[in-house]
């Protein structure tokens, strides 16, 4: 259960690491593009596997397998991987995003044999909701005309809401964060969707309106995307594994 203090600490760590990575990207003159979304997504997936394997008692409980330690750990690994990827791109002409994809896929694949497929139907419900929402958003976007970074930033949080809603409504799980727990106790699990809409849309709007620097705008939206995708993947994997 996340206390107010732990939630605050997690927020401080997230903001600090986001700023650190942003200035690192600026220093390295890295472009935030669509390919980077793929590389980052796979790294978030790897982190989700590590976190869920701790939930399943396959990995030991420690500072670096739970929040906020796991965020620090993966940031500490991600930065050197990016540096190696930059070197490979310069020497071998292999784009950075390909290095990010390979270095995430290989360790992720090692987790697959240890997976437990306890609740496939639950995971499928989450994916059905997430894909359906993506489809609705795609239709609406014909009129709204938002870019892919804004679209994915919002969708990742709706994916997270879908995972929480499914786990709480059908499978008896409980929410761990303070504000969502309060709202869910009052309005039910569907409140997660409303909470995401109320908070994420203004954040995405503000980023687009007030970020004059295109690279900063994309980076902030990518950060919002990752913050939503991480718990969405963790909750989906947890439900799938029955932990």
pLDDT in tens, 22-39: 999 999 999 999 999 999
Question: What's the rounded Cα separation, in Å, for the pair 161 and 164?
Answer: 5
Residue bearing tokens 């190696």: 84
Can you give the pLDDT at residue 1? 60
Q: Which tokens belong to 219? A: 């980076």
Contacts of 52 (CB under 8 A, 6+ apart): 234, 237, 238, 241, 243
pTM to 2 decimals?
0.94
Dihedral sign for Cα 176, 224, 220, 210, please.
negative
Torsion angle of C-alpha atoms 107, 121, 123, 202, degrees rounded to 10:
170
Q: What is the pLDDT of residue 2?
A: 66
Tens of pLDDT, residue by residue over 82-127, are 999 999 999 999 999 999 999 999 999 999 999 999 999 999 999 9
Q: Copy the structure tokens of residue 210.
A: 């007030």
174 has a pLDDT exceeding 90: no
Confidence of residue 203 (pLDDT cuts 50, 70, 90): very high
């Amino acid at each position: 259960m996340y206390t107010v203090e732990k939630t605050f600490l997690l927020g401080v760590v997230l903001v600090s690491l986001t700023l650190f990575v942003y200035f690192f990207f600026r220093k390295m003159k890295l472009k935030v593009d669509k390919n980077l979304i793929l590389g980052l997504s796979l790294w978030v997936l790897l982190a989700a596997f590590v976190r869920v394997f701790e939930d399943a008692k396959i990995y030991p409980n420690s500072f670096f397998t739970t929040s906020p330690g796991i965020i620090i750990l993966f940031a500490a690994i991600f930065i050197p991987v990016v540096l190696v990827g930059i070197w490979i791109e310069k020497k071998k002409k292999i784009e950075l995003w390909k290095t990010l994809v390979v270095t995430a896929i290989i360790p992720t694949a090692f987790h697959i044999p240890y997976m437990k497929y306890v609740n496939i139907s639950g995971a499928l419900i989450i994916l059905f909701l997430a894909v359906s929402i993506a489809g609705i958003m795609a239709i609406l976007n014909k009129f709204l005309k938002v870019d892919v970074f804004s679209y994915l930033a919002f969708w990742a949080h709706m994916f997270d809401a879908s995972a929480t809603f499914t786990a709480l409504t059908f499978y008896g799980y409980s929410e761990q964060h303070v504000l969502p727990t309060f709202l869910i106790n009052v309005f039910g699990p569907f409140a997660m969707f409303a909470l995401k809409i109320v908070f994420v849309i203004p954040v995405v709007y503000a980023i687009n309106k007030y970020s004059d620097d295109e690279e900063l705008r994309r980076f902030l939206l990518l950060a919002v995307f990752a913050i939503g995708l991480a718990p969405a993947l963790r909750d989906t994997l947890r439900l799938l594994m029955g932990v």
